[in-house]
A and B are shown apart, each in its own frame.
Chain A
Amino acid sequence: MKKKPFVMLIVLLLAAAMLAACGDDKDEKKDEAETETPQIETGTLEFYANGEDFVRQGFVSKDGWNLSFDQLYITLTDIKAYQTDPPYDAESGGELQANVTVGIEGTHTVDLAAGDADADPILIGTAADAPVGHYNALSWRMVQAPEGEAAGYTLLLIGTAEKDGESIAFTIKLENEYEYVCGEYVGDERKGFVEADATADAEMTFHFDHIFGDADTPPDDSLNTGALGFDPLAALAEDGVLDVDMAGLETALSADDYQMLVDILPTLGHVGEGHCHEVQTG
């Protein structure tokens, strides 16, 4: 009878080894794809982060708060672009099959509200010598800033909310980290076509109307019905000031409102209007 646990252990180890081998095989294939890039023509791929006009110009939340942002810091790392075939489908979230992968090194904290109301998206970095072709998938991680004003936070929203003569100076600090895997950019112009000795761009887009809702969208639209709005946050302000982090929000918000916020945050990452697959990392 004493042999039974031993046999079970052996069997479990064999099964785990087999599954691990399958995983290794995929990794090897990915590595091969990355290293087998033939000597072909190259161009430059620029990586941008975009908080859209919502952040640059401000907007009215679903519950009537006029929101403007002085700074909106976001920290991104492991930023990569892929030439995938078949095209990666973020809706199904299956395995991303890349023929070519390029990326930029380092962890980058940027202010999505930088510049005037008509400012361009924020340039994060550049991949020189990117093999020509169509980079039709992107991935990145949103992580806590290692240093600076936003240190310890993935997102730091600083701005003003105004409604019916009331003004609230808000500082909202969010720590949750996320990993996004996305397909092709969806928008007016296609992105990611790298041609020889030319420059193309790839864009990580962040939809902050998902948190606050948008007064310009019908109230019964899923965007608004699934958004927190600003009223629950305004209720936490004292003397016109709101300075809160996730722990504070968990304590002060109702359980339903806090859960709604937790559910919304993974949906911020997009490629234009194209959804991303978010893999919970923490």
Chain B
Amino acid sequence: MRRIIILLLLLVIALGSAGAVWAHGVKITYTVTFSPTIAIEAAYDTGEPMANAQVIVYAPDDPKTPWLTGECDDDGRFSFSPDPSKPGTWEIQVRQAGHGEWLKIPLDEEMMQSGQGVVTEGGDEGFSTAQIVLMSACVIWGFVGTALFFQSRRPPAQEPGEAA
């Protein structure tokens, strides 16, 4: 039993360590509010703001031509008022010194007209490889545990020739 537990733990550790490797250890996060302006806060995963990062905004009706360009302030903040006549997904590129990221903000007509608060945060979506491996190991362990439970409750088998 102990061997099985150790083997499963080793499996999880081994597979987890062979998972994703992050380019340059940087992650950009955003906080977006709509009231009725869109406010962005761009920072690295260290918490350091993307001071003076370049910002390019693309409107939904022309995704190839910049609708607005600008720079974040010293705290990595940037805000603008989208054109209310252009509902759809507004796309914003933020980049600085070789690091960049996209932000996609869907704004429907009702939001554009009412200007009521929508809050979106950029971040992880889905599961990483390591998370999937860990979850898979947990599922397998769940099966094993269930089997062992019922195995332990099974009455001892009768010996051959024993009276019923």
- List the one stretch of A85-93, A101-109, A113-121, A141-149 in contact with chain B: A85-93
The number of residues on chain A lying at the interface, defined by a beta carbon within 8 Å of a beta carbon of chain B, is 49
Binary contact readout A258-281 vs B (1 if CB under 8 angstroms, 0 otherwise)? 000001001101101111111110
* Total A-B residue contacts, Cβ distance less than 8 Å: 118
Q: Which of A3, A91, A92, A184 has the most CB of B within 10 A?
A: A91
**Cross-chain contact A89 with B100 (CB below 8 angstroms):** no
**Cross-chain contact B151 with A4 (CB below 8 angstroms):** yes
Q: Is B86 an interface residue (CB 8 A)?
A: no
**Cross-chain contact B128 with A275 (CB below 8 angstroms):** no
Given A226-B24, A269-B23, A280-B21, answer yes or no on A87-B143 (Cβ-Cβ < 8 Å).
no
A95-B63 Cα distance, complex, nearest whole Å: 24
Q: Which of B23, B129, B144 has the most CB of A within 10 A?
A: B23
**Cross-chain contact B19 with A274 (CB below 8 angstroms):** no
Partner of A183 from the list B24, B102, B144 (CB cut-off 8 Å) is B102
Question: Which label, helix, strand, loop or mixed, suits the secondary structure of the B interface?
Answer: mixed
In the assembled complex, which residues on chain A have CB atoms less than 8 Å from the CB atom of B93?
Answer: 186
User: A229 to nearest B CB, angstroms?
Assistant: 16
In the assembled complex, which residues on chain B have CB atoms less than 8 Å from the CB atom of A3?
Answer: 151
A7-B151 Cα distance, complex, nearest whole Å: 8
Question: Which label, helix, strand, loop or mixed, suits the secondary structure of the A interface?
Answer: mixed
Q: Is B47 an interface residue (CB 8 A)?
A: no
Partner of B99 from the list A87, A94, A273 (CB cut-off 8 Å) is A273
Listed in ascending order, the chain A residues whose CB lies under 8 Å from chain B are 3-4, 7-8, 11-12, 14-16, 18-19, 86-87, 89-95, 134, 183-184, 186-187, 190, 193, 207, 209-210, 217, 221-223, 226, 263, 266-267, 269-270, 272-280
Listed in ascending order, the chain B residues whose CB lies under 8 Å from chain A are 4, 18-28, 44, 46, 58, 63-64, 93, 95, 97-102, 104, 123-129, 136, 139-140, 143-144, 146-148, 151
